[in-house]
A and B are shown apart, each in its own frame.
Chain A
Amino acid sequence: GESVGLHLPTLSVQEGDNSIINCAYSNSASDYFIWYKQESGKGPQFIIDIRSNMDKRQGQRVTVLLNKTVKHLSLQIAATQPGDSAVYFCAEQYSGGGADGLTFGKGTHLIIQP
């Protein structure tokens, strides 16, 4: 079946460096692609989303890139801080037929080293 998945389970970067978390998706009909951050013991927290008709969107210290040709999504975090340490999930949303739920990938654990 179609699914959203992540290439790497763990990513370790030095504090202050930039990090890139990657995601592959397979449902070309999805309307939105989203990144969530989950800190230990907490629920997922929305970071940024991108509509399927866009290829780049920037937020505060974060940039999401969408490459529909190869069905690839990435999250760039600039100047990483200790508080960025968390598990990052990509997710996709398809709203056809009144559908509403998000399909999450497995997650990448980002570790920020001092």
Chain B
Amino acid sequence: EPEVTQTPSHQVTQMGQEVILRCVPISNHLYFYWYRQILGQKVEFLVSFYNNEISEKSEIFDDQFSVERPDGSNFTLKIRSTKLEDSAMYFCASRAPGRSNTEAFFGQGTRLTVV
């Protein structure tokens, strides 16, 4: 069964450093998303991406965040200068064209720890 793959599974970084979280969406999907989940809390929407541009972003997705689809398979989330409060699980998701917006497939997540 096709799946969304995220790397690394766990990233530890020092405050102020840049991190790049990587995702390989399901191959025939065209809509891509990043969500985060702070420990013990709900999943929060960050950004959606379609046709090589951001289609929607939340208040959380400020100037410190950026997304990119550098090639035909990867989808990345960059945090330029990490803060302690950026510590969370980050989930990538993707969705096929022509399907309901709700049928998104999530990856296993990257646990980001900022120290």
Residues in A lying within 8 Å of B, measured CB to CB: 31-32, 34, 36, 38, 41-46, 49, 89, 91, 93, 95, 98-107
Contacts and interface: CB of A to CB of B under 8 A. Distances in A.
Residue in B43, B91, B104 whose Cβ sees the most chain A Cβ within 10 Å: B43
Interface of B: 4, 31, 33, 35, 41-48, 50, 55-56, 58, 91, 93, 100-109
B105 A99 contact: no
Contacts of A104: 35, 42-45
Contact of A100 (B43, B44, B55, B91): B55
The 8 closest A-B pairs by CB, nearest first: A43-B106, A101-B45, A100-B48, A104-B43, A49-B102, A34-B102, A106-B42, A104-B42
The SS class assigned to the B binding surface is strand
B43 A41 contact: no
Contact of A101 (B4, B33, B103, B106): B33
B108 A41 contact: yes
